Amino acid sequence: MYKFLISFLLIIIGMNTFSQQVAVPQLINMLDWTPKRIDTTLKKDGYILMQKDVDSTSSMYQYSWFDKQEDGRAAARSLVFMDARVKDLQSRLITYRTYSKDEYQEIASWLLANNYKSTAKYDFKEAQHTLYSNGTFTIRVKVTTTQLKDGKKYVAYELELGK
């Protein structure tokens, strides 16, 4: 009985951690959502609005999610979306960042399973950019390594998509 309860609790905790991820299809859909719908969805998933800048031609919203795991490790994610308007033209850019290598591998698997192919690679020393396209839509994946003064390294995995 105890093994069952422990297993059940681990599943619930694991699902809670993974539920904060924003899946690639949802990011793609967000390109057409209203800012209010994005805000409601992210806040429902535990994201906090950290910054909001709105003027007559552009807007930028930055959300963050942070959780300290029981093992002492931390999980952090952020999502930024920006809208720009010039006359009749409108554009949106979404940047999703995670520090989880496992989540990055899930994202990469999803891209490959959904016919996205690497079309270009750029190496900027601390950041590697790879463009993935399925023929109609392109997603930029950035892997950035930051080394702190104490020698610790942090790797950020970012997706950039826009329309």
Total number of domains in the chain: 1
Tokens of 27: 């990011």
Is residue 6 included in any domain, yes or no?
no
Average pLDDT estimate for 9-13 = 36
> How many Å apart are CA 138 and CA 140, to the nearest integer?
7
What pLDDT is attached to residue 117? 96
Examine residue 16 and state whether it is found in any structural domain, yes or no. Answer: no
Give pLDDT tens digits for 145-157. Answer: 998 899 888 899 9
* Residue 2 pLDDT > 80: no
Does the pLDDT at position 70 exceed 80? no
DSSP 108-126: HHHHHHTT-EEEEEEE-SS
Instruction: Confirm whether 98 is domain-assigned.
Output: yes
Within 10 A of 35 (CB to CB), how many other CB atoms are there? Answer: 15
Q: Are 90 and 68 in contact (CB under 8 A)?
A: no
pLDDT for the residue 35: 95
Question: In terms of residue numbers, what domain contains 45?
Answer: 24-162
Question: Quick check: is 53 in a domain?
Answer: yes
Tens-digit pLDDT profile for residues 55-64: 989 999 999 9
Per-residue pLDDT reduced to its tens digit, 97-111 = 999 999 999 999 999
- The reply to whether 7 falls in a domain is no
Kindly state whether residue 5 falls inside one of the protein's structural domains.
no
- Sole residue written with tokens 């290598």: 101
Q: Which residue has 């299809």 as its token pair?
A: 25
Q: Which amino acid is at 121?
A: K
Whether 127 is in a domain gets the answer yes
Q: Is residue 36 domain-resident?
A: yes
DSSP-H helix ranges across the chain: 2-18, 24-30, 35-44, 101-113
Report residue 9's pLDDT band, with 50, 70 and 90 as the boundaries: very low
